[in-house]
Amino acid sequence: MKFFIDTANLDQIKEAQEFGILDGVTTNPSLMAKEGITGAENIINHYKTICDIVDGDVSAEVIATDFDGMVREGESLAALNPQIVVKLPMIADGVKACKYFSDKGIKTNMTLVFSAGQALLAAKAGATYMSPFIGRLDDISTDGLGLISEIRLIYDNYGYETQILAASVRHTMHIMDCAKIGADVMTGPLSAIKGLLKHPLTDIGLAQFLADYKKGN
């Protein structure tokens, strides 16, 4: 299972990279704004910085909502660095643009996926990644993890290679449930990833080992 971090915060990206378990980064316009990164030039520079920090794929979202605009923007984003994955919204022109980029061998991430039908379209358009937002579904009393299971079944039925990127992951249990279902990738906050570390018996056991070592030395 690949681990992506869902942030534009450079300190958190560095910490996750140094932790040694990071496979990539996802960003979106809201995450950029949260870090105070505004204006096309600053956003482009921020993507470049993120690519310098991490080894893996970095999703960069287009702002255009029409096919020509998405192609123009996506091509210039992809030209920044081979790590860039062009992130496209799940709308008709987004699907068309996804097909355009996948035919050219440019990596894509179809975002804002909330149904299995949308996931099927993303796979047919050759998306590299497809991002169902599980936390936002949970927020409206809809089963986000259930959607991941449905998509896993459909993709396995036909051998689609599009990777299921479980997005809008909010906590550690989301990560574990996505792993059990077989999501290819999860993207979430650093706090959810670090939550995987925690077990009181690990802390108690380590404290005991150290105390016993000190007794004999």
d(CA 211, CA 167): 42
Burial of 189 per CB tally in 10 Å (0-12, 13-18, 19+): middle
The least distance separating ligand E4P from the CB of residue 157, rounded to whole angstroms, comes to: 25
Q: Which of 37, 60, 187, 190 binds ligand E4P (CB under 6 A)?
A: 187
CB-wise, 95 or 217, nearer to ligand E4P?
Answer: 95
Nearest to 156 by CA among 123, 202, 188, 186: 123
Contact between 168 and ligand E4P (CB under 6 A)?
A: yes
Task: Collapse the DSSP code of 82 into the 3-class scheme (helix H, G, I; strand E, B; otherwise coil) and give the result.
Answer: coil
Nearer to ligand E4P among residue 28 and residue 163 (C-beta) = 28
Answer yes or no whether residue 167 interacts with ligand E4P by CB under 6 A. Answer: yes
Cα separation values, 90 from 27, 46, 112, Å: 16, 24, 6
What DSSP character marks residue 2? E
- Using CB under 6 A as the binding rule, whether residue 131 contacts ligand E4P is answered as yes
Given 108, 111, 128, 163, the residue binding ligand E4P (CB under 6 A): 111
**Nearest distance in Å: CB 102, ligand E4P:** 18
Q: Total number of residues binding ligand E4P (CB under 6 A)? A: 11
